[in-house]
Structure 1
Amino acid sequence: MFGAELRRRRQDAGMTLEDLNRRVHFSKSHLSKVETGAKKPSQDLVRACDTALGADGELAALAPGTTETRAAQAEPPTADQEVWLMSMTPDGETGFAGMDRRTALSLSALTVLGAGLGGATGTSGSSQRGHTDAELALDSFRAQLGELRTMGQHMAPSMVFPIAIVQTNALRQLARTAPPAQRPAVLRLAARFAEYTGWMAQESGSDRWAQWWTDTAVSLAGAGGDAEMGEYALVRRALLTMYAHDGPQTVALAQRAQRAPETSLRVLGLAAQQEAQGHALVGDLRSCERSLERSREHLAADEVENKSGRDGDPEVLGSRHVGDPVGVTRGWCLVDLGRVEEAAELLDQECASLSQNAIRARTRFGVRRALAHALSGEVEQSCTIAIELLTAAPRMDSATVRLDLRRLHQTLARYHGHRSVRELSPRLLTALSTV
């Protein structure tokens, strides 16, 4: 159905295969095979054709499904895992899990962990002393959360993930012995750690663990009287479906988060941002732009209302390392909408403004920037960007970055005779085998 409709719309528009080739950067022979049904179209070709023919998602809706599956991680400990770490099992029980020495060494980056646990010993001499210990422990753990999120920008998520588990569990233990007045704050902070643990699980490649840790965050936050995490969990679920290329479900989850009563401005903005990405996946440009504008309004209002508490706040939901999240999201969406030339120009601007310290964010949006240039036929520029990024991508070991790296490799493979592509290809394959 897609091939037949593509041919009908192309001919109605007065385009030859060569005309369409110049717009979508796929060869005439490939386009001809897609039109006759001899070849299955890729998502990139589907979006590019939909945009080139002004179909507003109607052509894309006829394409066969190309949803990518995500492999689960969580393998049992092996013989070389000589270090043991306390962890939390899916049923909420605590235990120990094996860890290799490299991951264990990363724990040394958080030297204040012991200080934070001191408040949970329950050995204080008086109720006033116990209250002081709990406050000191909270301050220590808040500092650790900030350090952990900074580490997440520089280290593989598989190394950060077990550290986050330990800290979440320690806060759960602290909540049991903290004075009643302090307990809600401890549980709310534990929820922030659990939510970040879920993000690191997703980055490590396990959607199942990502969802479980997000649910755990909601439970901890609810026990601490914080309803905001419940709405934000819908945004996190929408992110999972977005990476699974399920546009309609992404939109539905993000809209549910925005309909929840008393949703904070911050969550409203993040949910609208996620909704825009869902609309982009189904080719709905107008709804995407409206959602992005709504997101910008909510996030700007949140900055005004909570300015004193946002700068450097480790407990803030969502990324702290992107100056203009709506700008980079718009660039991301334009790629999925097939408006790749516009996406490349915008992502060039937005990536240039990202902090040098935000390595994970620079890698994630940089790979999509390289993809936008490749899809628009700017092969040399795409290869130049990719070479700059490949030194960081393997170290990031990111499952979400891997999706766009794979897309980039498939796109550049169409230009296998290009000198820069031949030089880049071995490095790109190495990165795909190590991230």
Structure 2
Amino acid sequence: MKTKLQAARLARQWSQADLMDAMEDAAERLAVALPARSSLKTQVSMFENGRRAPGSDYQAIFCEVYQSTRIELGLALETAPSQLEALPTLPSPRALSPQVNPEVLTYLQSIFAQHAQAEPLVGPRFLVPAVQSQVPLIEQLCKDASSSLRQDAVHIGARYSEFLGWLYQDTGDSQAAMLWTNRALDYAYELDDAVLSSYVFQRRSNIAAEAGQAGYAMGLANAALRNPRKLPNQIRAVALRARANAHAQLGQSDECARTIDEARALVDKATDDDTLAPYCSHAYLDMEAANCALQLQRPHEAVQTLEASLTRWPAEQQRDRGLCLARLATAYAQLEDVEGAYATASQAVAIAQSTGSARIFAELGRLQAHLTPWRKLVEIAELNRLLGSMKGD
């Protein structure tokens, strides 16, 4: 009986030599060391025959090569025992948990809404402890609730877990981000909620893409879009954005452009019914399209798109505005507009400091490499000094 790993190779009409070529390319992208070719061939045969389970490094490589999820390849779940040990230690309630009732669930929903409203303005640093402190109560409610109240409790658990995953992603902790997002997917599966599952899959795709695993990110984005007719327009659009980003990282410019255009058309049709991705506006898609242009080495396109996007950026989306500014500064630097890069980066730095967003800081780090030829200029030296001080925080 063929394993899913072997079936994935045969579906592509690859020989084992073809697979090993692809594995070596993926390992170089992921900075993973592979054994000698003869030893690798033995390992691959054992994995495909089911005589040995691939470890975490091999799982990551197979997901990258086949652009598929671990479940699709018949591999273990993301939460390997060694990774589970990295989960934050959660405080246990010392008192008896409150009785499960609609009032307690309404309280948790209102607190969540306040956290979500504050997050774009204040960033993740101060919200992670507040959000995580609610998790033990939610888990206890899920355990104690029954019938319709359990459905509501599990849905709240999914939202809090996904949100906590996002907060960890914005702090730069991709492992914790993926672990909490996986937990949200567990909740979504229990609910049999296709919309919520799709949203969580595209969130996982985002995390994988930012970790440099473009092939895996593509597989997760495809999973998010598996049943597109069941999805609200904004959910489809934000999942298409994840797919476009993976296309850009893989150098697939035509596919990237088509996917972004499809997402824009869906935003035009969006209604107010979608509460999971209200941020997926034209300004948001413009920023993401510009990021794709930067990855495809097209700074002129990025500048035009970002400059237009910033004129209509919502004031309450302060953190994303900072990311938009940082990407614009990178585009200016690629075009050797040093003055524009410095002025724009200075604004992004201020937002990075106030929100603690590691994603803004990472983009500013990419900018520094492009400003190296002008590092002796007073302004650029001061910018580098400031970024260096932030790195030590």
CA distance in 2, matches of 1:93, 1:239: 22
Q: 2:317 aligned with 1:358, yes or no?
A: yes
Structure 2: unaligned runs, 5 residues or longer: 1-24, 33-82
Q: Which whole-Å deviations, capped at 9, do the CAs of 1:377-412 have from their partners, x for residues lacking one?
A: 111011001112222212322232222111111111
Count of aligned pairs: 315
Give how far 1:263 is off. 4.4
Give me the TM-score of the superposition, normalised by structure 2. Answer: 0.71
- Residue 190 of structure 2 is matched in structure 1 by 223
Instruction: State which of 224, 238, 249 in structure 2 corresponds to 1:270.
Output: 238
Spell out the pairing of 1:223-302 with structure 2 (5 A cutoff): 223-260=190-227, 263-265=230-232, 266-301=234-269
User: Retained in 2: the 8 A contact 1:204–1:399?
Assistant: yes
CA distance in 2, matches of 1:431, 1:180: 49
Letter of the 1:433 partner, please give it. Answer: G
CA distance in 1, matches of 2:214, 2:88: 35
Give how far 1:230 is off. 2.5
- Residue 6 of structure 1 is matched in structure 2 by none
User: Retained in 2: the 8 A contact 1:68–1:244?
Assistant: no
Q: Are residues 327 and 384 of structure 1, via their aligned partners in 2, closer, same or farther at CA, if it must alter by over 3 Å?
A: same
CA distance in 2, matches of 1:277, 1:321: 15
Q: Which whole-Å deviations, capped at 9, do the CAs of 1:156-205 have from their partners, x for residues lacking one?
A: 42321222222233222223444522221221122111100111112222
Spell out the pairing of 1:283-432 with structure 2 (5 A cutoff): 283-301=251-269, 303-304=270-271, 307=272, 309-310=273-274, 316-318=275-277, 320=279, 324-432=283-391
Letter of the 1:141 partner, please give it. Answer: L
Identity of aligned residues (%): 21
CA distance in 1, matches of 2:120, 2:366: 23
Q: Which whole-Å deviations, capped at 9, do the CAs of 1:90-120 have from their partners, x for residues lacking one?
A: 48998429xxxxxxxxxxxxxxxxxxx99x6
Give how far 1:328 is off. 1.5
CA distance in 2, matches of 1:169, 1:155: 24
User: Retained in 1: the 8 A contact 2:348–2:360?
Assistant: no
CA distance in 2, matches of 1:96, 1:410: 42
CA distance in 2, matches of 1:141, 1:394: 29
Spell out the pairing of 1:189-208 with structure 2 (5 A cutoff): 189-208=156-175
Q: CA RMSD, aligned part only? A: 3.1
Larger radius of gyration: 1
User: Retained in 2: the 8 A contact 1:321–1:358?
Assistant: no
SS of 1:390's equivalent in the other structure is: helix
SS of 2:336's equivalent in the other structure is: coil
- Residue 96 of structure 1 is matched in structure 2 by 91
Letter of the 1:144 partner, please give it. Answer: I
Q: Are residues 358 and 331 of structure 1, via their aligned partners in 2, closer, same or farther at CA, if it must alter by over 3 Å?
A: same
Instruction: State which of 180, 183, 187 in structure 1 corresponds to 2:154.
Output: 187
CA distance in 2, matches of 1:416, 1:66: 29
Letter of the 2:276 partner, please give it. Answer: L
* Range with greater deviation from structure 2 (290-299 or 172-181): 172-181
Q: Are residues 141 and 425 of structure 1, via their aligned partners in 2, closer, same or farther at CA, if it must alter by over 3 Å?
A: same
CA distance in 1, matches of 2:302, 2:88: 46
Instruction: State which of 213, 219, 227 in structure 1 corresponds to 2:180.
Output: 213
User: Retained in 1: the 8 A contact 2:323–2:360?
Assistant: yes
Instruction: State which of 90, 94, 98 in structure 2 corresponds to 1:121.
Output: 98
Give how far 1:288 is off. 0.6
User: Retained in 2: the 8 A contact 1:238–1:274?
Assistant: yes
CA distance in 2, matches of 1:358, 1:90: 33
Q: Are residues 335 and 93 of structure 1, via their aligned partners in 2, closer, same or farther at CA, if it must alter by over 3 Å?
A: closer
CA distance in 1, matches of 2:170, 2:163: 11
CA distance in 2, matches of 1:299, 1:205: 29
CA distance in 2, matches of 1:360, 1:197: 16
CA distance in 2, matches of 1:321, 1:268: 10
SS of 2:350's equivalent in the other structure is: coil
Letter of the 2:180 partner, please give it. Answer: W
Give how far 1:285 is off. 1.6
Q: Are residues 348 and 65 of structure 1, via their aligned partners in 2, closer, same or farther at CA, if it must alter by over 3 Å?
A: farther
Letter of the 1:370 partner, please give it. Answer: A
SS of 1:283's equivalent in the other structure is: coil
User: Retained in 2: the 8 A contact 1:164–1:197?
Assistant: yes
User: Retained in 2: the 8 A contact 1:340–1:375?
Assistant: yes
CA distance in 2, matches of 1:259, 1:323: 24
SS of 1:208's equivalent in the other structure is: helix
Structure 1: unaligned runs, 5 residues or longer: 1-61, 70-88, 98-116, 123-129, 311-315
Q: 2:119 aligned with 1:160, yes or no?
A: no
CA distance in 1, matches of 2:130, 2:257: 38
User: Retained in 2: the 8 A contact 1:321–1:361?
Assistant: no
CA distance in 1, matches of 2:144, 2:365: 48
Give me the TM-score of the superposition, normalised by structure 1. Answer: 0.65
SS of 1:230's equivalent in the other structure is: helix
